Chain A
Amino acid sequence: MTWQPATVAAARAETATARTLVLDVDGWAGHVPGQHIDLRLTAPDGYRAYRSYSISSAPGPGRLEVTVQAVTDGEVSPYLVDVAEPGDQLEIRGPLGGWFVRRPADPRPALLIGGGSGVAPLMSMLRAATHPTRLLYSTRSPSEALFTADLATARAADDGRIDVTYVYTRVAPPGWPAPPGRLDADALARVAWPRDADAVTFVCGPTGFVEAVADLLVDIGHDPANIRTERFGPTGG
């Protein structure tokens, strides 16, 4: 699979430490929600660094978006979050990955469960959703939540197709009905589709989060065959 030049068309701050980069790529044919790209940065002396990033935009030709959380002491993510500007060029290849994907034609309802920046590929699924979709988003605090405005818009549409639930693990917004805390079996059972709904569940986030959530899902009776996971290691920057 060949590398293609990508040009930064725009950059949107998501939080103080995360940013969405809009990339223009000639001949890009689109992707399946959930897929990722490999990204390559080349320094003036020829040194190269490579990382994988999930695509956070809805599928479409010629353009895609990645949402990057700056990793403290990272090599690539601080560049993408703090340095890259519109007009800058890097290289990508993809789209990649054929398992952690939700095809828009798949009629099954979906539960998307994201922890931290693990919400990025789920955002692509949500934006492209044509069938009932629930997002459960676990974030440390309101100020660290990604896609806040986009998710508010999706909820506001309120056509019964998209449902968004937040879990705050460290700091909850004023007046929030529950104290901050980890996602537990009760919260999961409240948003999970009934067992006879033939639903598929996608879980993405840091390793510990995904392990815990996937175990809880199995504990409350979900078929492991209908749970797809993607784990972000503690590194990746």
Chain B
Amino acid sequence: MALITRGFGGRRRDDPNLPPGQYRTDDFPVLSAGPTPRISLDDWELAVVTESGERSTWSWAEFTALPADEPTVDIHCVTHWSKFGTRWRGVSLDTLLADVETAAEYVVAHSYGGYTTNIPLEDLLDGQAWVAYEFDGEPLVPAHGGPARLLVPHLYFWKSAKWLRALELRLDDEPGFWETAGYHNYGDPWREQRYQAD
């Protein structure tokens, strides 16, 4: 039996939608490693680069003209908060990658400002991931990753790279910023994969 902390009752009780070790918040905390980059929509570009170096790019106008989804999803941060029912608008990765020829199994997401994170390609397909540019019916603010961020809600939220600039398709796995700083390579909240040895 685990250690009991004397005098601690706790208020909230287990919720089937809450992964282990998480608590629910109705706020939207921000977690970033440095200053928030400011990217003008005129300069903004999203690129997909394959393992053979083929590059597809979208300007802001081209990107926002693509068919968009409006997913409502729960998100889980490794710092223990979860937020339920977040509403986004964004372009499915199935759409962005539809015409891309690749044998890649891994993706590195690159952000304006230099952040990177790695994700298996299969985790980005079949309606599991988006490049989101609206939150709660409003343009995505810079603090939360605007103009556009990756949204991969089934993994810890550091995988949902803010200020997305490029998706690099790779044959091999290349750990990103937090993944080389002690955090888990995959980051499944339901298996509580927070840190490298979890």
Residues of A within 8 A of B (CB): 1, 5, 38, 40-44, 46-52, 75, 79, 83-85, 88-91, 96-100, 207, 211, 214-215, 217-218, 224-225, 227-229, 231-236
Contact = CB atoms under 8 A, between A and B. Distances in A.
Contact of B35 (A52, A89, A90, A218): A218
B5 A88 contact: yes
Interface in B22-54: 22-23, 25, 27-37
Given A43-B5, A83-B7, A89-B6, A235 B25 contact: yes
A47 B36 contact: no
Nearest to B198: A1
Given A233-B25, A234-B29, A52 B80 contact: yes
Interface of B: 2-14, 21-23, 25, 27-37, 79-81, 113-114, 143, 177-178, 181-182, 194-198
B29 to A, nearest CB: 2
Contact of B36 (A100, A211, A236): A211
Contact of A233 (B2, B27, B113, B198): B27
B35 A227 contact: yes
A236 B177 CA distance: 24
Given A224-B113, A235-B81, A41 B10 contact: yes
Chain B facing A: main interface SS? loop
A42 B37 contact: no
A5 B6 CA distance: 13
A98 B182 contact: yes
Contact of B21 (A50, A228, A232): A50
A214 B30 contact: no
Nearest to A231: B30
A189 B27 CA distance: 33
Contacts of A214: 34-36
Contacts of A41: 5, 8, 10
